[in-house]
Homo-oligomer: A and B are copies of this chain.
Amino acid sequence: METAQLEKLNQAMQVVMQTARAQVLTKMGTKLTVAEKTSRRDLVTNVDHSNEDFLVQRIRQLDPRAHVLAEEGRGDQVTSMAGHVWIVDPIDGTMNFVHQRNHFAIMVGYYVDGQPTLGYIYDVMANKLYAGGPAVGVTLNGQPLAAPVDLDLADGLFGASAPLLIHDRFNMQRVIAASLGARILGSAGVQISQVLAGELVGYLSYLRPWDFAAGRVLAETLGLVVSQVDGTPVNMLSSGAVLVATRRTQRAVLAIVK
């Protein structure tokens, strides 16, 4: 796709994200309908559903060739990354959304024949929209975002998830001991956006495709690295432990994890 076309699509998608945020804020003023999916810690609400409907519809309007992989199943059955693949998380951090009314994100990632092309992470309550991709750069609320400094694990705070830390999966406790400290926020979108902003030197968690599709595009555009915990490339159609980090932090973490 031509850069001019991507610029136009990027502008249009930022408007879509802003509209989605406004609708979510409005719906937060009314009573939520909350249901458990696989457990009491895995929730879905009427707002996840309505926002996914909205995003899928707008994506199809902007890109008639879109194949949409969406968390709550309102998209397509996507079994290949060939063509135009959009990956949608209407509310990332639904537990926070329900119980904190804060610290959650709306996320969309766009891949063309498997290549990271555009990504959007909207931290709704902080009103921070990270947007862009390799052809158009990364902006925060429309302003160019500088690449974070390539800090080592020892020189920064590291984003984790509580289950990995408590059960010491992948030697997570040694990773944290080698860093300046752990931070756990309960939203992949919010934590990956903190890596983009240089607030964390890395983030490691068990993630599903919609948890990191947007973040991967933005992170790689900013010179950060995204991989599995054995250092191999991520697969956008499967779930697993994913590391988003500065280059130096990735090296340090890969030497510790097992």
Are A95 and B181 interface neighbours, CB within 8 A? yes
Question: At the interface, yes or no: A35 with Cβ under 8 Å from chain B?
Answer: no
**Which of A182, A185, A197, A200 has its CB near the most chain B CB atoms (within 10 A)?**
A182
Question: At the interface, yes or no: A235 with Cβ under 8 Å from chain B?
Answer: no
Are A162 and B176 interface neighbours, CB within 8 A? yes
Question: At the interface, yes or no: A243 with Cβ under 8 Å from chain B?
Answer: no
CB contacts (< 8 Å) of A126 on chain B: these are 126
A101 interface neighbour in B41, B100, B176, B199, Cβ under 8 Å:
B199
CB contacts (< 8 Å) of A197 on chain B: these are 102
CB contacts (< 8 Å) of A96 on chain B: these are 157
Distance in Å from the Cβ of A151 to the closest Cβ of chain B?
9
**Which of A100, A102, A197 has its CB near the most chain B CB atoms (within 10 A)?**
A100
Residue of B nearest to A40 (CB): B180
A41 interface neighbour in B173, B180, B184, B194, Cβ under 8 Å:
B180
Question: At the interface, yes or no: A165 with Cβ under 8 Å from chain B?
Answer: yes
**A119-153: which have CB < 8 Å to B?**
126
A162-B176, A162-B181, A166-B176 given as contacts; is B99 within 8 A of A156 (CB)?
Answer: yes
Size band of the A side of the interface? 20 to 34
Are B180 and A183 interface neighbours, CB within 8 A? no
Are A181 and B102 interface neighbours, CB within 8 A? no
**A63-107: which have CB < 8 Å to B?**
95-96, 99-103
Question: At the interface, yes or no: A223 with Cβ under 8 Å from chain B?
Answer: no
Distance in Å from the Cβ of A78 to the closest Cβ of chain B?
29
CB contacts (< 8 Å) of A231 on chain B: these are none
Distance in Å from the Cβ of A39 to the closest Cβ of chain B?
10
Are B183 and A185 interface neighbours, CB within 8 A? yes
4 further contact pairs, Cβ within 8 A, besides A41-B180, A100-B199, A165-B166: A99-B180, A99-B199, A102-B199, A165-B165
Interfacial residues, chain A to chain B (CB-CB below 8 A): 40-41, 95-96, 99-103, 126, 156-157, 162, 165-166, 173, 176, 180-186, 194, 197, 199-200
In the complex, 27 of the A-B residue pairs with CB atoms within 8 angstroms, ordered by the A residue number, are A40-B180, A41-B180, A41-B181, A95-B157, A95-B180, A95-B181, A96-B157, A99-B156, A99-B157, A99-B180, A100-B157, A100-B194, A100-B199, A101-B199, A102-B197, A157-B186, A162-B165, A162-B176, A162-B181, A162-B182, A162-B184, A165-B165, A165-B166, A182-B184, A183-B184, A183-B185, A185-B185
